[in-house]
Amino acid sequence: MNSAIRFFSVGGKTRDVAEEISSIAGVPAEPLEKALEGPVDVLFIGAGVYEVALDKKVLDYISQLDKSKVGAVALFSTSSGDNVTDQMALAASDNGIPLKGNPLQLVFGIKNFGIGYKFGLTKEDKEKIADFVKAAL
């Protein structure tokens, strides 16, 4: 199955998750700005929650995907509690691109206030990511 990974990360957590997906799926994790090189069966798309919202760049990216080149999307997010995968799934659905598997949300805590913040991916995080990738592929 042909796949690709695109992500938007400000603080680095979403990038960390994308890189873990990359190590399992065997394809590079690239920022949203990197164009798809060809059609894919599954496009992993990840984003974080910033100031209690999904960055507009992510919704624009999903809305502008060429549905003839993307079979399905597998969505993941990182946050301190808010989940944005519903917004991402709606944008994909509105664009005629189906969702593959259940979205993955990893909660890391609020970095600026030090509340529950985790540094690096835990073994449990990696297991959740592995299950997410296997279900999508």
pLDDT of residue 88: 94
Write down all domains in the chain, each with its CATH number in brackets: 3-136 (3.40.50.360)
Q: In the structure, what pLDDT confidence band is assigned to residue 118 with cuts at 50, 70 and 90?
A: low
Q: What is the pLDDT of residues 60-109, one digit of tens each?
A: 999 999 999 999 999 999 987 677 899 999 999 999 999 999 999 988 75
pLDDT at 134 over 70: yes
Q: What is the pLDDT of residues 1-27, one digit of tens each?
A: 899 999 999 888 899 999 999 999 999
pLDDT of residue 121: 87
Scanning the chain, the segments in alpha helix (DSSP H) are 13-25, 56-63, 85-94, 123-136
Q: What is the pLDDT of residues 23-72, one digit of tens each?
A: 999 999 999 999 999 999 999 999 988 777 788 999 999 999 999 999 99
For tokens 């189906």, what's the residue? Answer: 98
Cβ pair 61, 45 in contact under 8 A: yes
d(CA 70, CA 96): 10
Q: What is the pLDDT of residues 75-87, one digit of tens each?
A: 999 987 677 899 9
Average pLDDT along the chain: 89
For residues 8, 13, 16 and 20, what is the CA-based torsion angle, rounded to 10 degrees?
A: -90
Angle at 34 between CA 64 and CA 38, to 5 degrees: 75
